[in-house]
Structure formats: structure tokens, C-alpha cells
Amino acid sequence: MRALLCASPRELALVERPAPVAGPGAPLVRIRRAGVCGTDLHIFEGTQPYFEYPRVIGHELGGEIAAVAGPSRFRVGQQVAVIPYVACGRCVACRRGKPNCCQRMNVIGVHSDGGFAEWLAVPEDNLVDAEGVSLDEAAMAEFLAIGAHAARRGAIEPGQKVAVVGAGPIGLATAIFARARGGDVAMLDARADRLAFARAAIGVEQTIEAGEGARERCGALTGGDFFDCVFDCTGSAAAMNAGFYLVAHGGSYVLVSIVLGDVTFADPEFHKRETTLLGSRNATRADFDTVFAALRAGAVPTRALATHRAKLDDAARVFPSWLDPASRVVKALIEI
């Protein structure tokens, strides 16, 4: 089978590999669509903290069941999406119903070979019925689920003032589901084009360009209260540190993005606000259920979000261009 291998930073190549086969409890999926995630771009750049080369990357996946081995709740030909977080089922997090932060997490496409390939055997517990949505939408479900999980972690309630910092795909997904929960969402980003996209594509009314004076504008927007909940989706340690100062007294700060290095804050400022600090990692099946309900209801502007695409044969050639801000990529899809 053909697969896109990341052999080392900045080195992608289409290679031939033996095709996997279905095993007991692990149907064989014919991958049809794969989304390109910020994680994939970081892997390509060499800045992803949980990665060892070489690896076939790709974890935002939609496809069809090609074969099963033994009894299965899935049928050949059924359209599915992949939950790429393979949990151990035994650690403290799994026992608490939080497999998204399993101690022995295996993320398909990060810790094991992924789905920028024609075929992938996937544990049944990591497959979701994706009938009734497009293949593009099946592949976009994973990043949308991260946003749904973040909004759930923030416990957004109707009427709350919410700031989402970072208007990339994860930030947009977080904004979509924070708004779905009734939050009054503002978005911050250093790129004016990303903010314009957020206004046009998902209907965010309040946008603030990050940089000098941004905190003052946030204060003015909220009558001096600042935000009940702030989400960081930037992947920037400096932005994560600055986000503490956007949280209202009694508010919450949810770190969705991850960086190499330390996040720091002034303890007096943190304490006087009685800030609730939360991490948000990956997503659960419940979050995927939320996403697919929204997709089937037509509540997610997926056509607008899917801005770029390429065939698997061309992906290695075009991949570097997707790192260029001038390309204005929001979500790139690989057709397989």
C-alpha cells in the first residue's frame, strides 16, 4: 500500500508498505480522507514533543470498513471516523472514565503509524459510525471533537463571556462549540486574515487583533470584567502566559494547546482572581457524539473550514506550502 512517511524533520516521502489486515476486534479501514492537523505540521517541522521518527503520520481520518475478522458491530462498506487515541483501559485515568489522558496513551499517527495511507487496522472501540455525513466531515470530526471537549471542560454556560485565543482550526472548533453552549465568544489572533475568517465562516462577532493594546481592548469589550472563560489555542508559550491576564475574577483558563517548555504566571494575579486552571487534552467518545450530532444537523460550516486539499500522491510536494501563512490554510484534506 502507499503511505506518506515522515522519516525526519522536513522529510516526507510516499513509500510502499505491506498492507495491514483485519484482526479480532480491529477492522480494516480503507482510508478515504485525512485531515492535516497542527500536530502533523509540528511533526514535519520537528517541534512535536511526543514523537519519534520515522512514522507514517495522520490521525484525522475518515474511511470505510474494508474487512472484519470475526463478530463485529461494524459492517463492510460502512463509513466510519477514527478516534485516534488508543487508551490502555487500565490506568488511573482510564478507570476514571478519562481515556483521553491515558497514562499509556498511543495516538495513531503520533506514537504508532497513522492514516496518511491507503489502509489502517483500527480497534473497534476507536471507530465511530460516520454514516450520514460526508467523507470530508468524517475526517474533520477529530479536530472538532477537541474543540467540543475544550468547551465541555470550560463548562460554558449561556451568557458567559468567552475568549478564544488563537483562530486556527482548534480555536475555531472551540469557538463553534462554546457558542453552541450559549457562550458570548470573542476571538483573538495575531493574524487579521484568521479573524476575518472567524467572522465570515463561523459568525464570531467580536474579534481582537493580538499584540500591543489587546488586553485594554478586551477590558473595554467586557466593561472591565474580562472573560468568564479563556481558552488558549495558540501553541505559543508567550500567548499562554499572557492569557492569564484576560481571565475575570472568579473565571477559568483552559489550556487547549501544548508547547515545549514552561508556562508561567504571577501567583498574586492568579490567586486574587481565584482562577480555575484547566488542561484540555484530546477528546472522548462523548465529544465525538456531540460533533456528529452537530454535523448531521448541519450546524458546522465544514465546507468553509476545508480550505485546501491534495491527493496522496501530491501530498509530500505540497505539504511544505501549507506551513506558509500566505497560503491561508485553515483545514487541509488529503484524498486517498
Would the pLDDT of 49 be above 80? no
Would the pLDDT of 250 be above 90? yes
pLDDT tens column, 204-240: 999 999 999 999 999 999 999 999 999 999 989 999 9
| Amino acid sitting at position 81 | A
Query: At a CB cut-off of 8 Å and minimum separation 6, what does 67 contact?
Result: 21, 22, 27, 28, 76
Superfamily of domain 155-279: NAD(P)-binding Rossmann-like Domain (3.40.50.720)
pLDDT tens column, 253-311: 999 998 888 999 999 999 999 999 999 999 999 999 999 999 999 999 999 999 999 99
Per DSSP, the residues of 236-265 read -HHHHHHHGGGEEEEEEEEE-S--SS----
- Hey, where are the domains in the chain? 2-145+283-335, 155-279
The radius of gyration computed from the CA coordinates of the chain, to the nearest angstrom, equals 20
Per the CB < 8 A criterion, the answer to whether 88 and 94 are in contact is yes
Per the CB < 8 A criterion, the answer to whether 29 and 122 are in contact is yes
Q: What is the pLDDT of residue 38?
A: 84
Percentage of the chain beyond pLDDT 90 is 94
Per the CB < 8 A criterion, the answer to whether 294 and 273 are in contact is no
Distance in angstroms (rounded) separating the CA atoms of residues 191 and 205: 16
Per the CB < 8 A criterion, the answer to whether 269 and 243 are in contact is no
Q: What is the pLDDT of residue 48?
A: 72
Per DSSP, the residues of 193-243 read HHHHHHHHHH---EEEE-STTHHHHHHHHTTT--EEEEEE-S--HHHHHHH
Cell 457524539, residue? 289
Query: What size, in residues, is the chain?
Result: 336
| CATH number for domain 2-145+283-335, candidates 3.40.1190.20, 3.40.50.300, 3.90.180.10, 3.30.565.10 | 3.90.180.10
Per the CB < 8 A criterion, the answer to whether 62 and 129 are in contact is no
